[in-house]
Copies of this chain bind each other. A is one copy, B any other.
Amino acid sequence: MAFLKQKSISSDLAQKMIDKAVQKATELGIKVNIAIVDQGGNLKAFCRMDGAPLLSIQIAQNKAYTAAAFGIPTHQWYDMIKDEPSLRLGIVHTEKLVIFGGGYPIYDGKDLAGGIGVSGGSEEEDRICCEAALSLLETV
């Protein structure tokens, strides 16, 4: 086959997911950065809530990238590598790789179509914001 058919998140959906993540963060009383990347790992939408930490600008983007570039949530990385000493020690140095929670791939059915990353709250809070945003996909 000469060309692959791919799906990639639209700007419209990306914005809706960000709005949903912001709404959830507001409910939780936290201020976060939210990044959405497309199928190719390139930035599609971004929002830093007022008061969200600067340090998390890059972390949110890296979480979204890691999720889109490998196809699994970032919180699954630790379990994958924790019992393999060389990976545990080494793979964490991979550029843009995040191995803690708060990044999720975005699928259209079986097609990997992007990633979302949230950073600024606790790991659990970041994940809750992502999951709120991802819940929109069930209604697409």
**How many copies, total?**
4
Residues B43 and A57 in contact, CB atoms below 8 Å apart: yes
A11 proximal to B (CB < 8 A): yes
Instruction: Identify whether the interface residues of A are mostly helix, strand, loop, or mixed.
Output: mixed
In the complex with contacts A3-B10, A69-B55, A90-B86 CB distance below 8 A:
no
Q: For A66, list chain B residues within 8 Å (CB).
A: 55
In the complex with contacts A54-B42, A86-B123, A12-B8 CB distance below 8 A:
no
Whole-angstrom CA separation of A98 from B113 in the bound complex: 28
Contact with B along A97-140 (1 / 0, CB 8 A): 11111000000100101000000000100000000000001001
**Residues of A near any B CB (own CB < 8 A):** 1-15, 22, 38-50, 53-59, 66, 68-71, 75, 77-78, 82, 84-101, 108, 111, 113, 123, 137, 140
